[in-house]
Amino acid sequence: MDSEKPEQFLSVKEFAHAVGWGDDTIRRLVYRKIIRAVILPQLNPKRCRHRRVRIPRSEVQRFIERNSNVA
């Protein structure tokens, strides 16, 4: 039996806090497909301003590596 743990997911707010960027910026990057994410269906589109988005925890490290200003 495979003992691999399932992928953990972060909300947009948790991801934004981890990388030090704003929530709206992260949402824009998700919709432009710069950040890999799972977009969940809306339960009530009239009440929710944003779609529900979950970002894999592994994406934090990939994002930081690609966007660090190393000279």
Q: How many CB atoms lie under 10 A from the CB of residue 54? A: 18
Complete edge-to-edge strand list for the sheet that includes strand 9-11 = 9-11, 52-56, 38-40
pTM, 2 dp:
0.76
For residues 25 and 49, the model is more confident at 25
Residue pair 35/23 in contact (Cβ under 8 Å)? The answer is: no
Residue pair 39/30 in contact (Cβ under 8 Å)? The answer is: yes
List, for residues 35-70, the tens digit of each pLDDT value: 999 988 777 666 666 678 999 999 999 998 888 765
Judged against a pLDDT cut of 50, whether residue 71 lies above it is answered with no
Residue 34 CA, chain-centre distance (Å), reads 10
pLDDT band at 4 (very low <50, low <70, confident <90, very high): confident
Residue pair 38/53 in contact (Cβ under 8 Å)? The answer is: yes
